[in-house]
């Protein structure tokens, strides 16, 4: 269902990730309880950012190095966690999207690691994280025009060569974004920093707890991946 290509695993030996396959979902506007949790977490993250610049956080610095290694300028293409934290620092808050997106954002700013939630309805077969050839197809959020990724950038791609995320965790595709119709999703949290494994484990625990609270009819299976264990198999 989800795997890292051997070339990515080889180039990024410090990579650690957690994957949750969640089914039986009933996505929609975030309930008041989740919105309260998001506000509390945003306040806590804002306080932490008073003591350390976003770019100096170990997890963010590690992602910047990872982006540089496949040719992306990290100041031009922010990883998803850095983009969220910078938005929080600049505007004082992060707008609500929906239940699944909001709980992913909550955990992302808590650990300063990117958390992606992919609707599986339009994903063909398995998702592979690999270096792009440039022949794959990507449709950006809010757009109907397809583009091709740059050769060599890291992409999430399905069995039909349709890209779910460009530049690893920079931009998600239109067809993989969550919506009110999402019933089956893959949630991915990733890091490269020294404590990434511990942080990924904690993030998985938090995500599972949030799903139990705010998606009580869902069923989940969790996986912890690394270059030596790069694939989930099928739940």
- Which domains are assigned to the chain? 2-225 (3.50.40.10)
* CA–CA dist 112, 80 (Å, integer): 9
If we measure between CA atoms, which residue out of 80, 48, 53, 75 comes closest to residue 64?
75
H helix and E strand count, the chain = 6, 11
Tokens of 79: 């990883």
- Residue 160 CB-density burial (10 A; 0-12 exposed, 13-18 middle, 19+ buried): exposed
DSSP secondary structure of 10-73: HH-TT-EEEEEEEES----SPPHHHHHHHHHHHHHHHHHHTTS-GGGSHHHHHHHHHHHHTT--
* CA–CA dist 53, 89 (Å, integer): 10
- At residue 145, the pLDDT reads 83
| Residue partners of 41: CB distance under 8 A and separation at least 6 | 106, 109, 110
Alpha-carbon dihedral sign for residues 168, 82, 181, 99: positive
- At residue 235, the pLDDT reads 38
Residue recorded with tokens 């008041």? 32
- At residue 208, the pLDDT reads 98
Q: Which residues pair with 119 in a beta bridge?
A: 185
pLDDT by residue for the chain (235 residues), tens digit each? 899 999 999 999 999 999 999 999 999 999 999 999 999 999 999 999 999 999 999 999 999 999 999 999 999 999 999 999 999 999 999 999 999 999 999 999 999 999 999 999 999 999 999 999 999 999 998 777 889 999 999 999 999 999 999 999 999 999 999 999 999 999 999 999 999 999 999 999 999 999 999 999 999 999 999 999 999 974 3
Q: How many CB atoms lie within 10 A of CB 229?
A: 13
Query: To which H or E segment does residue 229 belong?
Result: none
* CA–CA dist 103, 37 (Å, integer): 9
| Residue partners of 86: CB distance under 8 A and separation at least 6 | 54, 78
Planar angle of CA 220, 223, 229, nearest 5 degrees: 160
Q: Is there a contact between 89 and 182 (Cβ–Cβ < 8 Å)?
A: no
| Residue partners of 122: CB distance under 8 A and separation at least 6 | 162, 175, 176
């Amino acid at each position: 269902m989800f795997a890292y290509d051997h070339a990515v695993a080889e180039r990024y030996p410090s990579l650690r990730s957690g994957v949750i396959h969640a089914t039986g979902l009933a996505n929609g506007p975030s309930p008041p309880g989740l919105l309260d949790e998001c506000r509390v977490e945003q306040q806590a993250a804002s306080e932490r950012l008073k003591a350390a610049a976003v770019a100096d956080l170990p997890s963010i610095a590690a992602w910047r190095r990872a982006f540089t290694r496949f040719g992306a300028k990290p100041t031009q293409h922010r990883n998803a966690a850095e983009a969220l934290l910078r938005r929080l620092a600049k505007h004082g808050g992060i707008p609500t999207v929906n239940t699944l997106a909001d709980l992913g954002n909550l955990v992302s700013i808590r650990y300063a690691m990117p958390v992606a939630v992919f609707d599986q309805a339009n994903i063909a077969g398995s998702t592979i994280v690999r270096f792009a050839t440039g022949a794959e197809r990507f449709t950006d959020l809010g757009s109907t025009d397809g583009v091709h990724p740059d050769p060599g950038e890291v992409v999430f791609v399905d069995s039909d060569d349709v890209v779910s995320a460009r530049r690893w965790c920079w931009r998600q595709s239109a067809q993989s974004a969550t919506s009110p119709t999402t019933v089956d999703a893959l949630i991915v949290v990733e890091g490269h920093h020294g404590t990434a494994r511990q942080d990924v484990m904690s993030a998985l625990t938090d995500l599972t707890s949030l799903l139990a609270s705010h998606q009580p009819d869902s069923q989940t299976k969790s996986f912890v991946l690394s270059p030596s264990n790069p694939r989930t198999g099928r739940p």
